[in-house]
Amino acid sequence: AQSVTQLGSHVSVSEGALVLLRCNYSSSVPPYLFWYVQYPNQGLQLLLKYTSAATLVKGINGFEAEFKKSETSFHLTKPSAHMSDAAEYFCAVSEMNRDDKIIFGKGTRLHILP
């Protein structure tokens, strides 16, 4: 069975500050890992995806995430927060080569303070 745990249902950062959203995964087989963003009343948009190639994955909008197998983590970071980054962020996991079956975390709402 696979699962992800997102630490912190709400995170607040000041505009221009580092964004760090934490995600730990559990998987009995090599995983694919994802970060999605959801703006209010909209669907999810893929930010980035880890597929066992490079452990540091760069995504859209300046976000990146690092796969750390020893820590079973896949934390999302952005060096400098913008007001437009305010949204809900979901970490997700699937089995390798089974990205038709994605398991999502509960989400972290990111608030950007002016």
Partner 1 sequence: DTGVSQDPRHKITKRGQNVTFRCDPISEHNRLYWYRQTLGQGPEFLTYFQNEAQLEKSRLLSDRFSAERPKGSFSTLEIQRTEQGDSAMYLCASSRGQFNQPQHFGDGTRLSIL
- Given candidates 64, 72, 86, 104, which one binds partner 1 under the rule CB under 8 A? 104
Residues 6+ apart with CB under 8 A from 70: none
Specify the residue, 28 or 70, whose C-beta has the smaller distance to partner 1: 28
Q: Which of residues 72-101 bind partner 1 (CB under 8 A)?
A: 90, 92, 97, 99-101
Write the burial class of residue 84 (CB in 10 Å: 0-12 exposed, 13-18 middle, 19+ buried).
exposed
Nearer to partner 1, 14 or 28 (CB): 28
Angle ∠(8,11,16) on CA atoms, nearest 5: 150
Nearer to partner 1, 59 or 62 (CB): 59
Query: Can you give the length of the chain in residues?
Result: 114
The interface with partner 1 within residues 13-52 (CB under 8 A) comprises: 41-46, 49, 51
